[in-house]
């Protein structure tokens, strides 16, 4: 009688992208949270991805670099978009992916990460959040999950639930987290959930596209 082979899991979540306000100073609590979270995730072996700008993006890079981790920035030159902050010279990463415009930059950020952490930001962060959310719904089960960091997100999600047509699956692709200590357990929870889906070689969803795990 043959013994059952022990199932070997591949790591699904390797790269984690940080999104949030580009205008906050180092003294801001959001900056400090992004720095601290990136630092301990980098210590755990995760690669930190961001948009190469200041604020939350710079905090994420600095936290990861201070932990000896790997960093990726997806950037573009905003010569035709004066309202965009652009590449920040103080955000020095291991790998820079250059893009031609803001839209390409956003989708490349989503592509180069396996999950996302959304901090407090403005309309740019909302656009990234909305795009990550709809892609997670489209590829549910093979989706890229995300963390909404900060208690204020609960009000935003509650407003969406009360005023839009949001289903159960859409609410299952993210977690609202308020404490830094809950981030790593949540990443591991997402990893476990994604392993419950068959990601075999014959999976047509896995074989098609970039915006899912």
What is the arithmetic mean of pLDDT over 177-189? 97
The fold adopted by the segment(s) 15-194 is Rossmann fold (3.40.50)
Q: CA 154, CA 115: separation in Å to the nearest integer?
A: 19
Q: Which pLDDT tens digit goes with each residue over 62-120? A: 999 999 999 999 998 777 655 556 677 788 899 999 998 889 999 999 999 999 999 99
What is the arithmetic mean of pLDDT over 147-152? 98
Query: Buried (b) or exposed (e) across 96-120, using 16+ Cβ within 10 A?
Result: ebebeebeebbbbbbbbbbbbbbbb
In the predicted structure, residue 1 carries a pLDDT above the cut 80: no
């Amino acid at each position: 009688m043959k013994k059952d082979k022990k199932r070997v899991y591949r790591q699904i979540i390797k790269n984690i992208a940080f999104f949030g306000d580009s205008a906050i100073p180092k003294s801001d609590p959001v900056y400090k949270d992004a720095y601290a979270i990136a630092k301990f995730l980098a210590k755990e072996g995760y690669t930190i991805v961001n948009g190469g700008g200041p604020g939350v993006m710079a905090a994420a890079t600095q936290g990861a670099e201070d932990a000896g981790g790997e960093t990726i920035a997806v950037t573009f030159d905003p010569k035709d978009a004066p309202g965009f902050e652009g590449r920040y010279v103080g955000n020095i990463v291991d790998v820079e992916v250059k893009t031609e415009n803001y839209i390409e930059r956003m989708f490349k950020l989503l592509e180069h990460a396996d999950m996302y952490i959304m901090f407090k930001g403005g309309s740019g962060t909302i656009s990234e959040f909305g795009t990550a959310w709809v892609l997670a719904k489209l590829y549910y089960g093979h989706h890229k999950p995300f963390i909404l960091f900060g208690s204020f997100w609960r009000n935003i999600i509650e407003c969406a639930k009360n005023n839009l047509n949001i289903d159960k699956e859409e609410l299952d692709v993210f977690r609202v987290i308020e404490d830094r200590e809950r981030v790593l357990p949540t990443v591991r929870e997402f990893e476990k959930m994604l392993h419950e889906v068959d990601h075999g070689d014959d999976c047509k969803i896995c074989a098609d596209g970039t915006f899912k795990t």
